[in-house]
Structure 1
Amino acid sequence: MLLNLHKQDKDKVIFLKILLLPFSLLYGGITAIRNYAYDKGWYKSYTLPVAVVCVGNIKAGGTGKTPFTQLLLQQFAGKYKTAVLSRGYGRKTKGFVLATAASTSAEIGDEPLQLYTHAQGVYAVAVCEDRVAGVEKLLQLIPDLKLVILDDGFQHRRINRDVNILLTEYQAPFYADWVLPAGRLREFRNGATRADAVVVTKTPAHAALLKTDNILRHTAKAIPVLYTTIEYGATRNEDGNYTWQPNEKAVLVTGIANPQPLVQYLNSRHIDIIKQFEFKDHYSYTLRDIQQMLDYQNANDGVKIVMTEKDWVKVVPLLRELNLSKGWYYVPIQIGIYSDQQQLLNTVETKIIDRLNRLTQHT
């Protein structure tokens, strides 16, 4: 009986996708015409006097762009004067905004704020819908800027980039998906022809690699394909790390696209999740939300409340406003690379050096 229900649900999904397919063809056709116009030079792309590395995808939703961007920042920001530029999804402001110690997620978005909390003055973080205008403003503010990393800029064709890194999830690779609204693709699969490398994210431990041909048939040439996974760090808050006790109870708070990997991680650590407050991706928390969580915490013997770092940067200002800190924690994440990490980093750095050398020759 259960198998029949699963089959019925699957059949309904397929039927719905077929119904939406004409709209997907229309949406994909519009983006294809736009890309063709850029390829032919009918729409102008701007080349700016910095090296530009783009981290993005061709699917809507989270593919692990922010932790991968953080990896690139850790690798290159110490070598080259660097800034990361994002659209700042979910922010309440418009135009160019440079992140400062006083910035909030409402001003710059949660992911840029998360990147800024790790900057420690080594790199700048800014947001702007218009990436060309954003880079130009960064150059005004940081005249010796050498490298700009575009966080989620794969479809932003107005700015030329030296390296395009395409991210795709292991469990839902782009080549097996459909264009919006039938699927989650922002453009047809051949958008991958613009990629200089493909990074498969959220790869389960000991998982078999995807068939490389399935990826490379959509790229312009044979390019590096790497596999990464999510690695969780020690649970912590502003006071330091926290060591969980066996079978300790916790309340989980998530405002991300897919909380299941974190749920699985906590379960693997024998943490008993007795309640989950699950919000939509990029959710803006309110004092009412915090009070609801606090009421549940107080009613359950002060159980620990744990969340992602992306949620933490939005919640912590509210906790400070309420003078709260005890029993609230977050789990940081970073990228772990299964494949030859140096291969990708060498590819990226070679492109950066070539670009900077050309700039030097023209000055």
Structure 2
Amino acid sequence: MTWLRKLLFPIAVLYGFITSIRNYLYDKGILKSHAFDVPIIAVGNLSVGGTGKTPQIEYLIRLLSPQYKVATLSRGYKRKSKGFILADASANAGALGDEPFQYFQKFPQIQVAVDADRRNGISQLLAQKDKPDVILLDDAFQHRKVKAGFYILLTAYDDLFCDDWMLPTGNLRESRSGAQRADMIIITKCPNTISEIAQEKIRQKIGLDKPIFFSFVDYDDQVYSATDSLSVSEIKNKTKILLAGIAKPKPFFDFLKAENDMVISYPDHHHFSNAEIEALKSQAGEKIIVTTEKDFVRLEAAILRKQLYYLPIKSRLVSNATTFDQIILDYVGIGTGNR
């Protein structure tokens, strides 16, 4: 924690008080939450960014879409459009935001929508003739105007919410007590070798009677361009440029970096200007550029087409995946009448 963040502690106390009052008003029904007659799973966190929401949403899509009509609804952070948009053939990252556009490209069998007003977005999805059986709300743990049927709280292994403080002293959007609204907690970005003893210590530290699961980031063994792929083992020892505009890029860089690689980091959800793309092309020369999947959908351009690759990731559970899947399937199955 920097000295400036420590100095801002009184503001953190005030911010925590305001968010606590807001939550109290919703908990007591003074402020109204709207429920819908469809299974809704909200995935989110208590902290700002970097907990792995995108791969967790993708995990749920893979689990549910073979059996149900799935829709995702996101705010569409930093998109250039307004209001409700349902992705179609004309969609792009500018209109949807990078994460929703990534879902749209990877999972053509689902519906992908964006709307900052989640209540309106859900209403619009359910007003369609081909309405979804289940809706996944991306980054909606604090969006209390909608009452989801099932809440999944994510917290990173190296930055647990129970060890954090309110903004701006720490990174919490609301107090730690907000975790009590969760139906399930996932500790993300764990070492894939985390022991049962270490898992139990974290459960005790969190101290909540909730199902708690542990997941890790599983990197693909290939990197992909718009036209071909290369094996990770092949490119690891090549001199290349590694580029990321995500909240916590260090694990991505560490996984791929060779001694002479150039590493370039941008802020989370960075929109690349034409000048930046031209400069990147000039820096790269003939070397390949490897970026994250989220950045690829924002960065893909004709000038980089032959040398720009991305590394996909997946969220995998350290253990008890069958139990996790069954909890989700049971909730959705009851809500849909198993249709």
Q: TM-score, normalised by structure 1?
A: 0.88
Partner of 1:250: 240
Note the 1:30-109 alignment, pairs <5 A.
Answer: 30-109=18-97
Paired residue for 1:153, among 115, 140, 162? Answer: 140
User: What amino acid is the match of 2:175?
Assistant: F
5+ long unaligned stretches in structure 1 = 1-9
SS at match of 2:240: strand
Partner of 1:166: 153
Partner of 1:201: 188
Provide closer, same or farther for how the CA distance between residues 273 and 111 of structure 1 changes in structure 2, counting only shifts above 3 A.
farther
Paired residue for 1:211, among 191, 202, 213? Answer: 202
Please say which structure displays the higher CA radius of gyration.
1
Answering whether residue 320 of structure 2 is matched by residue 336 of structure 1, we say no
Partner of 2:111: 124
Query: Structure 2 CA distance, aligned partners of 1:141 and 1:237?
Result: 35
User: Deviation at 1:245?
Assistant: 4.8
User: What amino acid is the match of 1:22?
Assistant: P
Answering whether residue 293 of structure 2 is matched by residue 314 of structure 1, we say no
User: Deviation at 1:246?
Assistant: 6.1
Query: Structure 1 CA distance, aligned partners of 2:205 and 2:100?
Result: 32
- Count of residue pairs brought into register by the alignment: 332
1:251, 1:273 within 8 Å by CA — same for their partners in 2?
Answer: no
Query: Structure 2 CA distance, aligned partners of 1:21 and 1:343?
Result: 41
User: Deviation at 1:104?
Assistant: 1.8
Query: Structure 2 CA distance, aligned partners of 1:336 and 1:310?
Result: 18
Partner of 2:325: 345
User: What amino acid is the match of 1:228?
Assistant: S
TM superposition outliers: structure 1 runs of 4+ over 4 Å: none
1:197, 1:344 within 8 Å by CA — same for their partners in 2?
Answer: no
5+ long unaligned stretches in structure 2 = none
Query: Structure 1 CA distance, aligned partners of 2:337 and 2:20?
Result: 34
User: Deviation at 1:142?
Assistant: 4.4
1:252, 1:273 within 8 Å by CA — same for their partners in 2?
Answer: no
SS at match of 2:25: helix
User: Deviation at 1:33?
Assistant: 0.7
SS at match of 1:326: coil
Q: TM-score, normalised by structure 2?
A: 0.94
2:125, 2:131 within 8 Å by CA — same for their partners in 1?
Answer: no
